[in-house]
Structure formats: structure tokens, C-alpha cells
Chain A
Amino acid sequence: MTGLRADLPLLWRQIRSQNRTFWRTPVAAFFTLALPVFFLVLFSVLFGSAEVAEGYRFSQFFAPAMAVFAAGSATFTSLSIGTALARDQGILKRVRGTPLPPWIYMSGRIGSAVWIAVVSVVVMFSVAWALFGFVMLWDNLGVALLMFVLGMATFSALGLSVCAVVKNADSVPAVANAFFLPMAFISGIFIPLDDAPGWLLVLGDVFPLKHFAEPFGDSFNPFHTGQVLGWENLAIMSAWLVLGLIITIRFFSWDPKGSG
């Protein structure tokens, strides 16, 4: 068996198996999927029954932000924690001893994480539509999809780069959350940045999440005028993607820490 075409069934198999593992691990499913949906419900109940403007309710702006949050945690946080855990348990080492090409194993993990991200985005929009008056807007769906694809690539690469730098699985959840949660706040995921001081806006601009969240959210914002997507969004996310890939390729180890 040689060639990419012969390897595609292997990849499919890996994605399915990773996915099965995910759904059978309630704690992972909870934090990745249920928690963002819970935030959506909570915030929408707190702020959302009244119209914000002209027939649109709070969830019109909040659901896309929570979708980005969920997709980002499915890749960045869950992927890094899951991979680090598998490495600590020696699963990566076991895989390395089989003929399965390492890139197929990793792509299986990434593919599964992206699939979970897709599920969580669909769930988010469905709940917002069914309960909180979210209106699906189709005009900029292409931009939203593009940002989703780029966002998934970037946060997968960054998630794995956390694993590459932090060798100890116990520390990975702390490190991943210490990056992701503050990044979510300075990227306007939970609270709009309208009244934020200038330095905070600049800080948010440096990191990739804001450049994922803003064009994605604006795609579903009926009041947005002008271009939804800016070149700087693509450029900054791509830069983080490349950085994540370089760190991962350079430093990732398949060996559990402390194996002598």
C-alpha cells in the first residue's frame, strides 16, 4: 500500500476512532460542547429576551461568538489536552511502533477535533435559532466558512504547539486555558470591546482569536456595513498558523516525559 489514495481509508478510520474516544469521555464532551452551549443559554436568558435592534435579539451577536469560542476550544484546548494525555499514557509511543504514518495519526486527531467543532457550531446556531430568535443570514456565509477553515487550521496547529512545548500532561490544561480564556476576553468573545481602552484593543489585535471571531460574527450581523473580512485578519491568523506549525514540527515529541 503506497500513495495518498491508499492511505485515505486509514485516515478516515483514525478520525472515526478518535471521535468515538471523544464521545465516550464525558468530561471532554462536557467542556468542549456543553459548556459553550451553557454560556449561550445563560447569557441569552440574562440579556436576551428583548430586541437589541430592529427585530434582532441578543443571540444574533452572541451565538456566533460562542460558536467561535466552542470551535476554538475544540481545537486549541481539547486537542492539546487530549494529545498530551495520550502522550503521557504512552499511546503516542505505541502508535509510533506501528506502520501507521505519524501524520495520519495526527491528522486523525485534528480531523476529529474539527468535526467536534463543526458539531458544536451547528448545535450553537440551532439552539440560538430555536430558543433565542437567532436569524440565519446567508449573504456572507462564504466568509464565515473561510474563517472557520482558517481558524480550525490555526488553532489546531497552536494546540499541538502547546503539546510540543509543554511536555507534562498535567500542565497542559492549565497552560492551554491560561492562553485561551484571557484571549477570549480580549478578543470580544464574551463582552463587546466597544468601551475597551486602546491598549487592550491592540493587545487583542496581536492574537489570532479576534481575527477569527470578528469576521465570523460580522457575517451574521445584519447591521454590519462595508467589508466583513480584512486582509489583516487573514494575515495575522496565517502568521499564527505558520508559527504553530513551526513550533510543532520543531519540538513535538512522541515519547512520554521521563522515559529513560
Chain B
Amino acid sequence: MASAIRVKNLVKTYGEVTALGGVSFAVDEGEVLALLGPNGAGKTTAVEILEGYRQADSGEIDVLGFRPTAGGRAFRDRIGIVLQETGIELVLTVREVIELYGVSYSRRRPADELISLVGLEEKADARIKTLSGGQRRRLDLALGLVGDPDLVFLDEPTTGFDPAARRKSWELVEGLTALGKTILLTTHYLDEAQHLADRIVVLNEGRIVAEGTPQSLGSAQAVTTVRFRMADPAGLPALGDGPDIEDNLVTYRVTQPTADLYSLTRWAVERGVELADLEVTRPSLEDIYLDIMDQADNERRQE
């Protein structure tokens, strides 16, 4: 499959600060890639270079066959940009701005279609200053799609949303993937990346610290926790790094939960012992993410 985006050794520094220290990744056509990382990881810098807003210090960049800063009109005709907190003409109506911004694209989508796509029918002829924050973000999304782009950039599309509004936005983005759009998404929410992306690139301090599908990212780091209570924990089998015994609470952290649980329960059944309050928990995504970040920090400290 062809790549919509290909970057190699992307470097960008601001004075002493390295925003991007040699980042390479590719996004296939029709793929949703999430750039995930904490604030200041370099996500926005990377995206703005790909959008043509910023010049990289060095590196190879190919976006839809263009060098973004030199792509000009032909390039911008094929991308849709949804920036964080971009201003808009507050005194114009939803329909007016969609028509205004649509007019410069060669392949524009009808205003009414976009308005219903993002669910702003009731506000179509309302001035933008009367819109709520969530409605404003949905208008941003409509404006990003007005030129029927091949590639859509979504920079932190749900930051500051309440859970219901996030769900709604996610549905919108899922609708886009159904249309076959390539999407580059930045987010600092792991669950958002997990939910929307085909592939996740984790950035920290300008470097890629992990990369993979949401499932593989989870399983690579996955440590399952097995926990139960036992009055006399002597003679328990050694599994993973356990047992870790605290009073009468026994904890194992295992990487092969099926096999290890089998060993443990067989051990208990053979001895006729009950594993009271037995609990098997997968790590939360948050735990995995924090783990990746910790590892990245440790590796850097060792360098």
C-alpha cells in the first residue's frame, strides 16, 4: 500500500531545545495513525511540519508526494487541517464560514452535507459566537473536511471535552475512516489513540519511544496481576517475579497469564486450598503508557 506520509530523521530545534530529535515514521493511505505523547513531546511540532506551517531543520518529508512547505496551493487542496484552538470569524454563521472556507478548494463538499455530518443542523444559521466549545470543535472538523481531503490532520481533537462530547467526536472520526481518509491524529489520551488509531507512535521529548498497533503496544508491555488472599501462604509456586506476599495478600505479576494461572490453580486444587478473593487484572492502558514513559526516561538517564 502507498504511503500518504513518509518522514525520515525529522529534526527540529528551537534554540537549545530539541523539539524533534530524529523522528521517522510512515502513514499508509487509509490508515489512522495516532501520535501519542505528553504535552511538550513534539507532537504539534511534527504535525505542523507535515502541514507545511513549519520548516524542519533536517530530514526527509513526503506528504502525498509533496514537500509540505513548498507544496503551496496544490498540496493544501488535498489536506484538511483541524488545529487546536484556531480562531474563526465569530460574527459569521456556521453556514457562512463553511461556504467561505470551502470556496478555495477544487473538490468542495456541500455545506449542508457537512453541517449534518457534524450534527450542527440546529446551529447552521447561528453566529459562531453562540456555539458551545464542543460545537465549535465540530465546526472546526467540518472546516477540515470542506475540501474533501485525502489526508486529515487532527491535532488533539477532544482536549477539554466532557466524556459525552468525546464519544461523539470519536464517532465522527470513525465515520471519516469509513470514508477511506488517511488520518494523522495527535492526542495525549491513550484511550483515544487506542480507540481510533490503527497504529500508535508514542513520542516523548522529541523521540519515538514505542510504536505499534494498539493491541501490540498493550501486549508488549502487558503484565497481568493475579491476586488472592491466603492465611498460610507458605509453599506457593514461583511464577513470574512472585509471589509477593504482604500480610495474607498474595500478588503475582505474570507475563503468560494462561499458563501461569493454570499452574497456580492446579497447585491449589491438588492441595485442596481455596484462593480467596481471586482476582486477575490486565494492566490499564494508563499503566502501560506510564510504563513506556518510565522506560524511556530510564534509558535516557543511562545514556
Task: List A residues at the B interface (Cβ < 8 Å).
Answer: 1, 9-10, 13, 17, 20-21, 24-25, 86, 88-91, 93-94, 96-101, 104, 255, 260
Q: How large is the interface on B (under 10, 10 to 19, 20 to 34, 35 or more residues)?
A: 20 to 34
A97 contacts B51, C-beta separation under 8 Å: yes
Q: A21-B89, A90-B86, A98-B76 are in contact. Are A10 and B81 (CB under 8 A)?
A: no
Most B CB contacts (10 A, CB to CB) among A10, A24, A99 go to: A99
Determine the distance from Cα of A100 to Cα of B143 in the docked complex, in whole angstroms.
13
A24 contacts B91, C-beta separation under 8 Å: yes
Q: A93-B53, A94-B87, A96-B53 are in contact. Are A17 and B14 (CB under 8 A)?
A: no
A91 contacts B87, C-beta separation under 8 Å: yes
**A and B contact pairs by CB, cutoff 8 A, 19 listed:** A1-B106, A17-B96, A17-B100, A20-B91, A24-B91, A24-B92, A89-B88, A91-B87, A93-B53, A94-B83, A94-B86, A94-B87, A98-B104, A99-B73, A99-B77, A99-B106, A99-B147, A100-B103, A100-B104
User: Closest CB of chain A to B130's CB: distance in Å?
Assistant: 13
Determine the distance from Cα of A1 to Cα of B101 in the docked complex, in whole angstroms.
16
A13 contacts B103, C-beta separation under 8 Å: yes
- Which residues from chain B contact A100 at a C-beta distance below 8 Å? 101, 103-104
User: Closest CB of chain A to B196's CB: distance in Å?
Assistant: 21
Chain B residue at minimal CB-CB distance from A254: B53
Q: A17-B96, A17-B100, A260-B14 are in contact. Are A98 and B89 (CB under 8 A)?
A: no
- Which residues from chain A contact B51 at a C-beta distance below 8 Å? 97
Main secondary structure of the interface of B (DSSP, over half): loop
Q: How many A-B residue pairs have CB under 8 A?
A: 72
- Which residues from chain A contact B106 at a C-beta distance below 8 Å? 1, 99
Query: Does B170 count as interface, using CB distance less than 8 angstroms?
Result: no
A97 contacts B81, C-beta separation under 8 Å: yes
B87 contacts A21, C-beta separation under 8 Å: no
- Which residues from chain A contact B100 at a C-beta distance below 8 Å? 13, 17
- Which residues from chain B contact A89 at a C-beta distance below 8 Å? 87-88
A20 contacts B104, C-beta separation under 8 Å: no
Q: A96-B53, A98-B76 are in contact. Are A10 and B14 (CB under 8 A)?
A: no
Determine the distance from Cα of A10 to Cα of B88 in the docked complex, in whole angstroms.
18
Chain A residue at minimal CB-CB distance from B91: A24
Query: Does B189 count as interface, using CB distance less than 8 angstroms?
Result: no
Most A CB contacts (10 A, CB to CB) among B51, B53, B106, B147 go to: B53
Most B CB contacts (10 A, CB to CB) among A1, A9, A10 go to: A1
Query: Does B85 count as interface, using CB distance less than 8 angstroms?
Result: yes
Task: List B residues at the A interface (Cβ < 8 Å).
Answer: 14, 51-53, 73-74, 76-77, 79, 81, 83, 85-89, 91-92, 96, 100-101, 103-106, 127, 143, 147
A93 contacts B92, C-beta separation under 8 Å: no
- Which residues from chain A contact B103 at a C-beta distance below 8 Å? 9-10, 13, 100
Determine the distance from Cα of A192 to Cα of B101 in the docked complex, in whole angstroms.
47
Determine the distance from Cα of A100 to Cα of B97 in the docked complex, in whole angstroms.
14
Residue from the list B74, B79, B96, B104 in contact with A10, Cβ < 8 A? B104
- Which residues from chain A contact B53 at a C-beta distance below 8 Å? 93, 96-97, 255
Determine the distance from Cα of A90 to Cα of B86 in the docked complex, in whole angstroms.
5
Q: A10-B104, A13-B103 are in contact. Are A97 and B83 (CB under 8 A)?
A: yes
User: Closest CB of chain B to A29's CB: distance in Å?
Assistant: 11
A98 contacts B147, C-beta separation under 8 Å: yes
Determine the distance from Cα of A13 to Cα of B87 in the docked complex, in whole angstroms.
19
Determine the distance from Cα of A99 to Cα of B89 in the docked complex, in whole angstroms.
18
B147 contacts A20, C-beta separation under 8 Å: no
- Which residues from chain B contact A21 at a C-beta distance below 8 Å? 89, 91-92
- Which residues from chain B contact A17 at a C-beta distance below 8 Å? 89, 92, 96, 100
Q: A98-B101, A260-B14 are in contact. Are A91 and B81 (CB under 8 A)?
A: no
B88 contacts A98, C-beta separation under 8 Å: no
- Which residues from chain A contact B87 at a C-beta distance below 8 Å? 86, 88-91, 93-94
Chain A residue at minimal CB-CB distance from B44: A260
Most A CB contacts (10 A, CB to CB) among B51, B73, B74 go to: B73
User: A20-B92, A96-B53, A99-B76 known; 13 other A-B pairs, CB under 8 Å?
Assistant: A9-B103, A10-B103, A20-B96, A21-B91, A21-B92, A93-B83, A93-B86, A94-B87, A94-B101, A97-B51, A97-B52, A101-B73, A260-B14
Determine the distance from Cα of A17 to Cα of B88 in the docked complex, in whole angstroms.
12
- Which residues from chain B contact A20 at a C-beta distance below 8 Å? 91-92, 96
- Which residues from chain B contact A91 at a C-beta distance below 8 Å? 86-89
Determine the distance from Cα of A101 to Cα of B104 in the docked complex, in whole angstroms.
8
- Which residues from chain B contact A9 at a C-beta distance below 8 Å? 103
- Which residues from chain B contact A96 at a C-beta distance below 8 Å? 53
